[in-house]
């Protein structure tokens, strides 16, 4: 599948101004990658920098993009809501600045019933700026 043809609004339950993913770059059984151009008018920007809450929401929406892609394009179903169940080992090395494009990579560690555990890395260019583990619960 050509990921450039995937419409992000079809994958996410969030709507502007809360959309924190611009593009789906990769999605398979193990890895999902998204990108986001950090804009100064982003609701999670403060003084030209994306806040910690914005980085967390970006990771969560990368998980949502994965679930939405699988639901819509692989299972031919509807997009379901997901909820952050837990965040562990969050390390924020620096805040992304307005004008930077961040790339978020989640690797699926484990899926049990309606819970998914992922390991996430957020980069600006080649620089790692954040990492975390996140549990996502899928609603019915």
The whole-number pLDDT of residue 139 equals 77
Of 23, 111, 17, 126, the C-alpha closest to 65 is 23
Q: Hey, which bits of the chain come out as E strands?
A: 23-27, 31-37, 45-46, 49-50, 82-92, 101-112, 115-124, 127-138
Q: Which residue has the higher pLDDT, 14 or 99?
A: 99
Domain 3-138 has CATH 3.10.129.10: yes
Query: Residue 138 pLDDT > 90, yes or no?
Result: no
Distance CA 77, CA 50 (A): 33
Domain boundaries in the chain?
3-138
On the question of pLDDT at 102 being above 80, the answer is: yes
What's the whole-number mean pLDDT along residues 61-82? 91
- What is the pTM for the complete model shown? 0.95
Q: Can you say whether the dihedral through the CA atoms of 27, 78, 20, 9 is positive or negative?
A: positive
pLDDT recorded at residue 140: 63
Q: What angle do CA 138, 139, 140 make, to 5 degrees?
A: 120
- Maximum pairwise Cα distance, the chain: 42
pLDDT of residue 81: 87
| Percent share of the chain, pLDDT over 70 | 99
pLDDT band at 69 (very low <50, low <70, confident <90, very high): very high
Neighbouring residues of 22: CB distance < 8 A, sequence distance ≥ 6: 8, 34, 35, 36, 37
pLDDT band at 116 (very low <50, low <70, confident <90, very high): very high
């Amino acid at each position: 599948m050509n990921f450039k043809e995937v419409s992000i609004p079809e994958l996410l339950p969030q709507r502007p101004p809360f959309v924190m993913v611009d593009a789906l770059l990769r999605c398979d059984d193990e890895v999902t990658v998204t990108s986001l151009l950090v804009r100064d008018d982003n609701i999670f920007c403060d003084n030209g920098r994306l806040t910690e809450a914005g980085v967390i929401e970006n990771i969560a929406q990368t998980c949502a993009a994965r679930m939405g892609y699988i639901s819509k394009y692989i299972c031919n179903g509807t997009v379901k809501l997901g909820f952050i169940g837990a965040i562990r080992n969050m390390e924020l090395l620096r805040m992304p600045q307005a004008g930077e494009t961040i790339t978020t990579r989640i690797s699926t560690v484990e899926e049990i019933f309606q819970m998914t555990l992922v390991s996430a890395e957020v980069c600006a260019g080649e620089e790692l700026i954040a990492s975390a583990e996140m549990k996502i619960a899928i609603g019915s």
